[in-house]
Each structure stands twice: as C-alpha cells, then as structure tokens.
Amino acid sequence: MNNRMVEAPAGIVTAVSRSPQHTLAKANTDCIRLMAGLGVEGDAHQGSTVKHRSRVARDPAQPNLRQVHLIHSELHDELRRAGFEIAPGQMGENLTTAGIDLLALPTGARLRIGAEAVIEVTGLRNPCAQLDKIQKGLMAATLGRDAEGRLVRKAGIMAVVLRGGEIRAGDPIRVELPPSPHRPLAVV
C-alpha cells in the first residue's frame, strides 16, 4: 500500500513573484512558470545547481535545493501586528500561500499546485541580515523560540520543482506527505 496520501486542498496561492536579478524583493506578477529540476522561469535562483551567492562562493556545483521559496501569508499578518509593513514577494519569496502551516511540513512533503505543478519541500530558509534592510528588526522578528527553547526560523521554506506548470494567485495547493517516519525541516 502507498503511504502517501493526497489531501483535499490544504491552502491556496495568494501571490506569485520573481526577479531576474539577485535582489531581496521579488516583483509580484500574474503568473509564474515552474520548470522541472530548475525552479521559477526568469528568476535569478533558477537552475539545477545552487544560485544563492554565498553558496556559489563555497561550492558552485552544489545541487540547488532552493529553487522555489515559499512564505505563508500568516507570517505577513504576524509581522504586520508587530509593526512591520510587509507585502508579498518583499522577503524574496516566489510563492505566498495561505491556509498551510508550511513550517510544520516534513522534509520531502510534496505540494501539488494548480493543475500541473509539483514541488518537493527540501528545508527551511535561514533568515539573514538582508531582512533588516527592509525594516530594522525584521530578521529578529522572523526568529522565535519553541516551548523547549529551540530556535524557530519563520521566514519560509524552500523546495525543488518535480513537475513544471503555470501558477497563479488563487490556485489550490494540495499536500502529499512522505512515508513515515517524517523528518523535520532543517536549514538548506
């Protein structure tokens, strides 16, 4: 029996964004195209090998586990309540979502988005000091502690593209969990 199970739509895409340049903010657009094994067409992080500048400096041949960056709109809401003015794409995400606890997904979870696209979750985004260029204190606001005092990184998750397709705001997202035991997300 297959341990994977596709659930009813767990959430939706609220915004899609990309940037051809290595800038923190990504411009919102009507539609993005995901390309299998590469990422978001026309985005600076598109490619089978790592494109994040600090990672390229260490080893440019590393596989790109950061092809697609997702942030939950609920984080934007939390940040607004804390006094930050954050818009979709401003923190560098390609997909802004609603209705899914992205940070609770296990490594290897698959997200079926819209009619065709499938991405696989690879890990957490590690918030960096660039966030403070948006607004002072933003990096610290994307970090927290759980009940046991462990660091919680809230700046979204990263994924690779398994099957390409077009994605638009309003597209449903279905979650497919990997077989147990599940591995919690770690920084990639």
Bridge-based pairing of strands 95-98 and 165-168 is unpaired
Structural domain includes residue 5: no
Tally of domains in the chain:
1
Q: CA-to-CA distance for 170 and 113, rounded, in angstroms?
A: 10
- pLDDT tens readout for residues 119-161: 999 999 999 899 999 999 999 999 999 999 999 999 999 999 9
> Which CATH number does the domain housing residue 168 bear?
2.40.33.20
Averaged pLDDT score across all residues of the chain: 94
pLDDT tens-digit series, residues 78-125: 999 999 999 999 999 999 999 999 999 999 999 999 999 999 999 999
181 within some domain:
no
CB 114 within 8 A of CB 179: no
Does any domain span residue 187? no
In a domain, 183, yes or no: no
Structural domain includes residue 127: yes
Residue at 128 is within a domain:
yes
User: Does residue 185 form part of some domain?
Assistant: no
Report if residue 184 sits inside a domain: no
Domain of residue 28 covers 11-176
